[in-house]
Amino acid sequence: MWKILDGEELERLRKRLFERYGITEIPYVIVKSGKRKYRATTKDASKIRIAQLVGIYVLKETPFGLMFSIEGTQLFGPLARKNVFEISSEIIEKWMHGEDLEVNSRNKLERGLVIVRSEDLYLGSGLYDGQRIRNLLPKSRKVVG
């Protein structure tokens, strides 16, 4: 089931998003679904208490910190001020096939979870290990073949 985050829980989440991604605001109602997942929705949808699910899955607790889903990067990516990795449009296909990304040593990324984007297209999350970004797209969202 799911529950709406109260003011304190939301503030804790906001602080963590600020520390990792430089995000200062959460312009959605956030609900916790199960032990590890967060979903974003509207105020009206969050009032449907009988619903099995509301809104969309945007964030997950992982051993590496808070990881955005593809849609999470699309909703929150434009608000992020750091740990966003930009790729050229030619690389999108490789990323969507599940390949890792090579990272230039002059980048400003911190080790850990990062948002991947190409211009205004947000492409999900990866894990930066200091040398490359490991592809964390779920299997069902990768292009096959």
Partner 1 sequence: MVSRIMSSLIDERRVPLTVQDLKKELKERYKVLLRSEYEKFINCLFQKSPTFIRLNPMKTSVKWLHEKDWEVERVPWYEFGYRVVKGPENIGNTAEHRLGLFYVQDAASMVPPVVLDPKPGEMVLDLAAAPGSKTTQMAEMMRWRGVIVANDISMRRINVLSSNVQRMGSINVAITRLDGRFIHKVFGKERFDKVLLDAPCSSVGEARRNWRPLIRWSMRLVLRLSKLQKELATAGYISLRPGGRMVYSTCTIEPEENEEVVQHLIQLGAEILQVEIPGLRFRPGLLEWNGRKFDSSVSKCLRIYPHYNDTLGFFVCLLEKPER
Please state the closest distance from residue 145 (CB atom) to partner 1, in A: 7
Rule CB under 8 A: say whether 70 interacts with partner 1.
yes
Give the number of other CB atoms < 10 A from CB of residue 33: 17
Q: Which of 48, 78, 86, 129 is close enough to bind partner 1 by CB under 8 A?
A: 48
Q: Closest by alpha carbon to 55, among 70, 71, 66?
A: 71
Contact (Cβ atoms closer than 8 angstroms) between residue 114 and residue 83: yes
For residue 17, count other CB atoms closer than 10 A to its CB: 21
When binding is defined by CB under 8 A, the residue of 6, 8, 35, 50 that contacts partner 1 is: 50
Q: Name which position in 71, 99, 109, 112 contacts partner 1 (CB under 8 A).
A: 71
Do strands 84-86 and 65-68 pair parallel, antiparallel, or not at all (unpaired)? unpaired
Contact call for residue 125 and partner 1 (CB under 8 A): no
Size of the site for partner 1 (CB under 8 A): 32
The number of angstroms, rounded, from the C-alpha of 3 to the middle of its chain's C-alpha atoms is: 20
Q: Which residues bind partner 1 (CB under 8 A)?
A: 28, 40-42, 44-45, 47-48, 50-57, 69-71, 74-75, 92-93, 96, 121, 123, 140-145
